Structure 1
Amino acid sequence: MTTRDLYITENRGESLGMITEFSSAEERFQNATIRPILKLQNDLFIEVFKNYITKHKNDFYSYSIEKKNQFIEASIQKDIKFRNALKGMVIGLFTVEEYAEYLKNSSNLNKRMMNMLIERLKSQLMLFESQQAS
C-alpha cells in the first residue's frame, strides 16, 4: 500500500453499514468505501451544491420542500457536468486498489454513489435553510 493509500484509508473513517459474508461485492464496496467518503466530503458537497444553486436556480430557497427535493434529484441526475464533478470528488479519495475494484462495475457503483448523495443532500435541506439565513 502506498503512502497516499495509507493516508486515505486512515483518515476517511471506518466502514459504515453492515458488511457480512453474504454481502455482495457492490454492497461491500458501498459500505467500506463510498459511504465513508460521502460522510467525509459532506461539508464540501453542501458548499458545492449551494454554489450550484446560486449559479443555476437562485430561487431554490423559495421552493416547497417537495420541489427542493425534486431539484436536488434532477440536478444530479440530469446535469452531466455537475454529476461528473461530484463523482470526481468521491473517486479522488479511492485508493488505487479501490479504483481497480470500482472499474469492474463502475456503472452500478456510480448509480449507488449518486443515489446515496442525493439522499444525503435531501436529508439536509434544513441545513441549507439555516445557512441561507446567516
Structure 2
Amino acid sequence: MNERAIFLKELRGETIGTVGLSSSSDEVFQNQVLRPILKLQNDLFIASFKNYITKYKNDFYSQSTEKKLAQIENAIQKDIKYRNALKGMVIGLFTIEEYLIYIKNSSSLNKRMMGMLVERLKSQIQLFEQP
C-alpha cells in the first residue's frame, strides 16, 4: 500500500456499521469507505449546502421545515452540477484500490452515497437557519 492510501485510511478512521460474511460488496464498501468519508467531510458538506442556499435558494430560510427537507433532497437528487461536486468531495478521498472498486459499480454506489448524504444533511437541518 502506498503512502497516500495509508494516509487516507488513517485519516478516515474505522469502519462505521456492521460488516459480516453475509454483507454484500456494496454494503461492505458503504461501511468501510463511504460512511467514514461522509463523517470526515461533514463540515465541508454543511458549508457547501449553506453556499448552495445563498446562491440558488434565497427563499430557503422562509420555508417550513418540511419544505426545507424537500429542498435538501431535491438539490442533491436533481441538481446534477451540485450532485457532481458532492461526489467529487467523496471520491477525492478514495484510495486507488477503492476507486477501482467504485467504478465497477458506480451507479449503485452513487445512490447509496447520495442517499446517505441527503439523510446526513436532513438530520442537521437546524444548522441551516438564517445566519
- Tell me what 1:84 maps to: 84
The TM-score normalised by the length of structure 1 is 0.95
Amino acid at match of 1:93: L
Aligned-partner Cα distance in 1 for 2:114–2:81: 13
What RMSD, in angstroms, separates the aligned Cα atoms of the two structures? 0.7
1:66-115: CA deviation from partner (whole Å, max 9, x where unpaired): 10011001111111010000000000000000001111100000000000
Q: SS at the partner of 2:59?
A: helix
Q: Percent identity between the aligned chains?
A: 68
Q: Equivalent residues in 2 for 1:1-134 (5 A)?
A: 1-129=1-129, 132-133=130-131
Runs ≥4 in structure 1, deviation > 4 angstroms? none
Question: Could you tell me how far 1:8 is from its partner in structure 2?
Answer: 0.3
Question: Could you tell me how far 1:13 is from its partner in structure 2?
Answer: 1.2
Query: Please, which runs of 5 or more residues in structure 1 have no aligned partner?
Result: none
Question: Could you tell me how far 1:128 is from its partner in structure 2?
Answer: 1.8
Amino acid at match of 1:14: E
Query: Please, which runs of 5 or more residues in structure 2 have no aligned partner?
Result: none
Between the two proteins, the alignment pairs up a number of residues equal to 131
The TM-score normalised by the length of structure 2 is 0.98
